[in-house]
Structure 1
């Protein structure tokens, strides 16, 4: 019996700190601010500013391209073209789920382009903490499949 207690105590001592995960706190209001930060970067019309919101290994499945963007250069190339339309997004509805160092913001948004065109779409942003900053780990956006007449 004493050997079992000793083994358990030793395993706890060794594994304890190594397995401890510290969760970075975030509120729903702060998650909403992450979208606002991304949307404000669109307004700069600078693809580099937009890309700075994404983790280096993020996946972007964009609305207006069939190609997944998995590098910063690919994302920058996508936003270079997308920003020519001077898009501004507005959240129509959302569901936010907060976990330990990971957040998901999923819902509907509408982009208004400089020419007045409105593009309603579905979205999912997954954010993760990297070096103390919340960055987009994945972003999926797709135009709404049903057209209103």
Structure 2
């Protein structure tokens, strides 16, 4: 009898649905603020402040480098050079999608650099809710391949 009761308990336990993942709430305006936070960190000209926006296992495929940046140290190395240009980004167009503990912000932005030049680029930021905060889990940025008509 005890064996049957134990077996029935184990089967009941295995048949119990998994506990649903708790989703951190986020809205589209809050995702916009995540870009603003990142952009403000660029304005500090401190690579550590910029890298703080990224999850430790994030992937950065940067605008002005062919090398993927897979660690915080590699991301910092990239931003040391990029910040010398005093970049300021502005969103030209975007699409935001929301999920459970993740968000996607993709579109077109333009960087204005210290010398006055402008670099239009395509971007994708993916965010994840990790360690009680929203962090960049991947960031792809590539300069626009076609010249603007004058």
Taking structure 2 as the reference length, the TM-score comes to 0.90
| Corresponding residue SS for 2:48 | helix
Runs of 4+ more than 4 Å apart: 5-9
Superposed CA deviations along residues 77-114 of structure 1, whole A, max 9, x for unmatched, are 00000000000000000000000001000000000001
CA–CA distance in structure 2, aligned partners of residues 37 and 90 of structure 1: 12
Given candidates 14, 26, 45, the residue that maps to 1:11 is 14
CA deviation after TM superposition for structure 1 residue 135, in Å: 0.2
* C-alpha distance in 2 between matches for 1:67 and 1:16: 40
Q: Give the corresponding residue for 1:29.
A: 29
Residue 148 of structure 1: how far off its partner (Å) = 1.5
In 1: Cα distance, 2:9 partner to 2:70 partner: 48
Aligned match of 2:113: 113
- Asked which structure has the greater CA Rg, the reply is 2
User: Which whole-Å CA distance do the structure 2 matches of 1:83 and 1:102 have between them?
Assistant: 27
TM-score (norm 1): 0.90
Q: Any idea what the Cα deviations from partners look like across 1:30-78, whole Å, max 9, x if unmatched?
A: 0000000000000000000000000000000000000000000000000
SS in 1 for 2:73: helix
Number of the residue aligned with 1:73: 73
Give me the whole-angstrom Cα distance separating, in 2, the residues matched to 1:6 and 1:50. Answer: 51
Aligned with 1:66: secondary structure? coil
Aligned length: 142
Instruction: Find the counterpart in structure 1 of residue 104 from structure 2.
Output: 104
What does 1:128-139 align with in structure 2 at a 5 Å threshold?
A: 128-139=128-139
Q: Quote the offset at 1:16 in angstroms.
A: 3.4
Distance 2:78 2:29 in 1: 29
CA RMSD of aligned residues (A): 1.6
